[in-house]
Amino acid sequence: MGDFTTSDGIRIDYFVRGAGPPLLACQGGPGIRSDTLAATLAPLEDARTIVYHDYRGSGRSATAPPDTYTFERLADDMDELRHHLGLGPVPVLAHSMGGFVALHDALRHPDACTGLVLVGTTPTGDPRKIAGPALRALGPARVAKLVARGGRYLAVWSWRPESTGRQAARYAVMATTQEGLPATRARVREANAGLPVANDNVPRLERLFGRTDLTADLPRISCPALVLFGDRDAVMAVGGEMLAAQLPNVTQVVLSQVGHEPFVEAPARAFPPVRDFLATL
């Protein structure tokens, strides 16, 4: 475990686990810490030395000026961590919102990123592009559940000051689009116990999520990419199809009857393609 100071003076906390060639990891969020992804990826530590870090304004890293909470700056922070550790070009594994960080890294630092493992993520959060297809992917029953949870949030929480309770209720609405099969949901809740956390960067990154659209930039990413997602993860399944359609050098893996947490819900199916892909780099 250690920390370093970025070029603009922000302390970033990181830790390293595992053995083998290095791999940078980008957790989702924004109401999350890197520890959660580290626990999920533990089975991969026999094959890779995985470098985790808390984004600026989250976890054990320092807070920063709100206008620096951007996916571009988070990608630059990770590149500076890469240099701090003396790493050469390495692959990046990203889950959920971490995909925006990883994609920006590949676009801004193409010579430093040798490959992308994009798990349950999307190149865009623009509702004009993703909402309609995601609702169709959900189907009538899950749409009804989404509407009910959304209505409860509007009635009970939307008018209250921001708090961890309000944040959790907001995330519960989104979780409706991500749920795996009922038999796996207890494992997912256990893996995500204590989330979300009240990171300083949450308000800014939540707003940026819906305004970020990298679809037009994907053809510029030339490194090999693995796009892996569950078919019940409606928003990210739509995003995953976009990634697979527009990245020039891509392998796609779709896990049936799996939601937003493939490594928790279906580890026996999720880890082997990741191992195989990393072994080719």
The pLDDT tens digits along the chain (281 residues) read: 899 999 999 999 999 999 999 999 999 989 999 999 999 999 999 999 999 999 999 999 999 999 999 999 999 999 999 999 999 999 999 999 999 999 999 999 999 999 999 999 999 999 999 999 999 999 999 999 988 888 988 998 888 988 878 888 887 888 889 999 999 999 999 999 888 888 999 999 999 999 999 999 999 999 999 999 999 999 999 999 999 999 999 999 999 999 999 999 999 999 999 999 999 99
- Bridge pairing between strands 11-18 and 49-53: antiparallel
Q: What is the pLDDT of residue 41?
A: 98
**Closest-CA residue to 117 (of 102, 100, 97, 104):** 102
Domain spans of the chain, in order of start = 2-128+197-279
- What's the CA gap between 264 and 163, in Å, rounded? 28
Residue 144 structure tokens: 């009804």
CATH tag for 2-128+197-279 (out of 3.30.365.10, 3.40.50.1820, 3.40.50.720, 3.40.50.150) = 3.40.50.1820
Q: Mark 188-225 as b/e (b = at least 16 C-beta within 10 Å).
A: beebbeebbbebbbbebbbebbeebebbeebeebebbb
CA 263, 265, 270, 275 torsion-angle sign: positive
**Closest-CA residue to 90 (of 124, 50, 59):** 50
Alpha helices in the chain (DSSP H): 34-40, 71-84, 98-108, 127-138, 140-152, 164-175, 182-191, 202-209, 234-246, 262-265, 267-279
- What's the CA gap between 131 and 125, in Å, rounded? 9
Q: What is the pLDDT of residue 23?
A: 98
- What's the CA gap between 66 and 202, in Å, rounded? 10
Q: What is the pLDDT of residue 72?
A: 98
Q: In residues, how long is the chain?
A: 281
* Cα diameter, the chain: 51
Record the pTM: 0.95
Query: What Cα–Cα distance (Å) separates residue 67 from each residue in 7, 54, 72, 73, 146?
Result: 15, 18, 11, 10, 32
